[in-house]
Amino acid sequence: MENYLKEALEIVKAQASVRTMTEEEITTMVRKLSEGIRAISENSAGTVEESETLDPKKAIKEKSITCVICGKSFKLLTKKHLASHGLTADEYRESCGYKKGAPLVCKSLQRERRKKMQDMRLWERRGKH
């Protein structure tokens, strides 16, 4: 197991050097990678447990949103990524139990966008034309 853990740590270290990751994301990624590497090395890649399906309520975090289908983390889920799973944004929201029109972005980006729109005050400009 020790060898698998070292390999997983190297991969996670490389990932953490290119994007900000929470402690929870790092821990989860190390665990999943080491289990996956072990399974592959034992020629039983099909036995990697899928029982750890992601809870949609926990998928949207402060600095990332995790795709419930494939488990990859992003700042926002794009149409292109969802299309790779054969879904539209509305179909994804429905399958995950999110409200219709709920933003598929991390919380920090959502706040940032909301503030930017409030600062622009578009509702005041509309009446001046």
Distance CA 116, CA 91 (A): 28
Residue 24: pLDDT band with limits 50, 70, 90: confident
74: helix, strand or coil: strand
pTM of the model: 0.53
The confidence score (pLDDT) of residue 29 equals: 86
65: helix, strand or coil: strand
Distance CA 68, CA 4 (A): 25
Backbone angles phi, psi at 97, to 5 degrees: 85, 20
Q: Are 88 and 77 in contact (CB under 8 A)?
A: no
- What are the extents of the domains in the chain? 1-52, 54-129
Query: Minimal CA–CA distance to 76: which of 91, 86, 61?
Result: 61
The confidence score (pLDDT) of residue 129 equals: 58
Backbone angles phi, psi at 2, to 5 degrees: -60, -40
Residue 105: pLDDT band with limits 50, 70, 90: very high
**What CATH architecture applies to the domain 54-129?**
Orthogonal Bundle (1.10)
Task: Please compute the mean of the pLDDT values over residues 84-110 and round it to a whole number.
Answer: 92
Query: What 8-state DSSP symbol labels residue 62?
Result: S
The dihedral built from the CA positions of residue 81, 34, 52 and 108, taken in this order, carries a sign that is negative
H or E element at residue 66: strand 65-66
